[in-house]
Amino acid sequence: METIGRGSPENSVWPEMITTALEIENNERTLTFIRQMNTADVKTNSTSGLSSSNSSAADLIDYSQDLLTEIFLRLPVITLIRLTSVSKQWNLFIKSHSFGLLRNPNPDPPSGLFFEGWDVRYKYHYVPLDFGNMVNRPPFTTLRFDSGAIKILQSCNGLLLCVNDFQKYYIYNPTTNRFVTLPQLNNFNPDGVCCMTLAFDPLKSSHYKVICNYMYGVMMIEIYSSASGKWKISNERLDDLVDLDRGVYGHNAIHWMSFPNRLVYLKLDEELLRYIDIDTPDTTIYGTILDEFLTESRDGMLLVVRCCRFRRLNVYEINKDYSEWSIKYHVDLEDVIRVYPKMQTRLGLHFVVQSLVLGGTEEDSFIVLELPGKLIQYKFVSNTISQLRDFTTESRRCTHGGFFPKTIFQLSDFTPENRRFINGSCFHYIPSLASV
């Protein structure tokens, strides 16, 4: 495991700032303790000539390790990361494996979204979200681990799966700024194409898995486990119709879409493949789904279905036993058109589904749509629309090429000239102290 150096003195958090952070948490015992320690430091250091800000953090740890642990367990991850700048002792304690085991592993809702843009290769645009612990500054805009530009392939509960120009793969935690390089596959082919999917659920385990699909005579599957640090060849084989680039982890399984209208999933415990047919009202045109977006839900998996010939965008949910699809959300595109009439032209509707975000409650869940010049969120329960970004006020340096419509019904003129983000390039940023 390696750490990328970053940070500067102006980003440090001094003890007097800790009181402010803890006031937000409304913890009276914590506030009293911190204030007493700061007062004691001022009295002691006024006679010794030492700086209070340089010694109070270390004194606090010596004063009560148990109370410090109790305080830190009540704070959100973002606040803890800021407190790592107070002192070396706090930094080591907060990022220690023992402290990580004490924290509730349930991941927070995303604090922001990373988008890969058309303007610069592998440059990522950060869009903060309006949740309680919002991160205003991007953790990064480009990634440079060792050699070559780094591309994000997937995000999963706070960890990022990345690859460089030389087909070296990494697991990176942008919150702790640490990464690990994955070993080579058992059947590594430098001229071949690998499709990777990250599986990480901190509620189940502190370890993660990476599933790789590649052609080696047949469609092979290898599984990497961070617990063993090795790749294992699976006995299962995928068919050639599976959309390998869009693997999604959820409920201890990897899910792919397969033509025509099939959902394929690999249960990670048993390492068994299953195929199920998808039957929704939106599969009536030519018997196939014209466009889809698969993501995890609390109770199963969600499928966003877009039928471009109609003003319809439905979200279906399949339960955990994969027995039935039912409609979960419906996006009223007529409401969106009324707010953003320029998305409608004589050729149809211009929009791309970039992401679906599950908030802490149903009321906070929304879908992210990119329109010409706009990035918006549509909240399902309240049917409210708000703007996340306005591209018309920003510079418009875009390159040509790279966008190929999924079907003939998607609009061929919704190109990089009037789009900012590459379709399928949205990655959730969830603050996490998970070890890589």
291, amino acid identity: D
Cα 381 to Cα 342: distance, rounded to the nearest angstrom = 25
**Can you list the alpha helix ranges (DSSP code H) found in 289-411?**
333-339
Ranges in the chain, pLDDT < 70? 1-64, 100-101, 104, 130-137, 260, 280-292, 307-310, 394-418
Pairing of strands 169-173, 178-181: antiparallel
**CA 60 → CA 130, 323, 406, distances in Å?**
33, 55, 58
Token code pair at residue 182:
């994955």
Residues 6+ apart with CB under 8 A from 200: 156, 157, 158, 159, 208, 209, 249, 434
pLDDT recorded at residue 267: 92
Number of neighbouring beta carbons within 10 Å of residue 361:
9
Token code pair at residue 199:
């599986």
216, amino acid identity: Y
Domains of the chain, each with CATH number or no CATH: 12-102 (no CATH), 112-429 (2.120.10)
pLDDT recorded at residue 94: 81
- The helix (run of H) or strand (run of E) holding residue 69 is helix 65-73
Token code pair at residue 286:
């030519």
pLDDT recorded at residue 73: 82
Q: What would the DSSP string read from start to end of 179-196?
A: EEEPPPPTT--TTS--EE
Asked if residues 255 and 274 have their Cβ atoms less than 8 Å apart, the reply is: no
**CA 190 → CA 163, 168, 187, 238, 434, distances in Å?**
14, 10, 10, 21, 31
pLDDT recorded at residue 59: 57
Token code pair at residue 383:
């049917």
Exposed / middle / buried, residue 26 (Cβ in 10 Å: 0-12, 13-18, 19+): exposed
Cα 201 to Cα 249: distance, rounded to the nearest angstrom = 9
Residues 6+ apart with CB under 8 A from 202: 105, 106, 107, 157, 158, 432, 434
**CA count, 13 A, side-chain hemisphere, 40:** 12
CA 205-211-216 angle, 5° bins: 155
- Give the per-residue SS3 of 195-228: EEEEECCCCCCCCCEEEEEEEECEEEEEEEECCC
The pTM for the full model equals 0.78
Asked if residues 169 and 231 have their Cβ atoms less than 8 Å apart, the reply is: no
Pairing of strands 421-429, 178-181: unpaired
Phi and psi torsions of 204, nearest 5°: -95, -40
**Cis amide bond preceding 174, omega within 30:** no
